[in-house]
């Protein structure tokens, strides 16, 4: 209605998506540590790292096991939800399902 402020809802979920190569590069230059620090302190309860596995033959800055160890540490030590997907399409599906669950839970959206 006119004269009323729009109703807003801030959810406690934040998602950081990274392809395997991006994760490796972030580890190399220190961005990963800073990003985790900022996400952990942003005030939202459910930080999620959405990580995409490398494609066949894709070159990575580190072996996949190093990336998996970094992700496991992020989950166990930093208390993030870490979700590995098979690639961009699977990530999009995860985000769609997450969005549907948030709509169901909070009764928002179309």
Assigned domain for 94 exists:
yes
- CATH number assigned to the domain comprising residue 73: 3.40.50.10130
In the predicted model, is pLDDT for residue 19 greater than 70?
A: yes
Assigned domain for 40 exists:
yes
Can you give the pLDDT at residue 71? 96
Burial status of residue 6 (CB atoms within 10 A of its CB: 0-12, 13-18, 19 or more): exposed
Summarize pLDDT for 26-73 with one digit per residue, the tens: 999 999 999 999 988 888 888 999 999 998 888 999 999 999 999 999
In the predicted model, is pLDDT for residue 90 greater than 60?
A: yes
Assigned domain for 87 exists:
yes
- What is the number of domains present in the chain? 1
Assigned domain for 96 exists:
yes
Residues 6 or more apart whose CB falls under 8 angstroms from that of 54 comprise 19, 20, 21, 60, 64
Q: Is the pTM of this model over 0.85?
A: no
Can you give the pLDDT at residue 103? 87
Average pLDDT score, the chain: 89
Assigned domain for 62 exists:
yes
Assigned domain for 3 exists:
no
- Span 14-31, mean pLDDT? 94
- Span 69-88, mean pLDDT? 95
């Amino acid at each position: 209605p006119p004269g009323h402020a729009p109703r807003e809802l801030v959810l406690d979920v934040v998602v950081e998506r990274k392809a395997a190569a991006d994760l490796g590069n972030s580890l190399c230059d220190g961005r990963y540590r800073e990003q985790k620090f900022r996400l952990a302190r942003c005030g939202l309860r459910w930080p999620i790292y959405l990580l995409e596995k490398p494609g066949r033959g894709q070159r990575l800055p580190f072996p996949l096991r190093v990336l998996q160890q970094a992700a496991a540490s992020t989950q166990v030590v930093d208390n993030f939800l870490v979700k590995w997907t098979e690639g961009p399409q699977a990530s999009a599906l995860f985000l769609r399902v997450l969005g549907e669950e948030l709509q169901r839970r909070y009764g928002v959206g179309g």
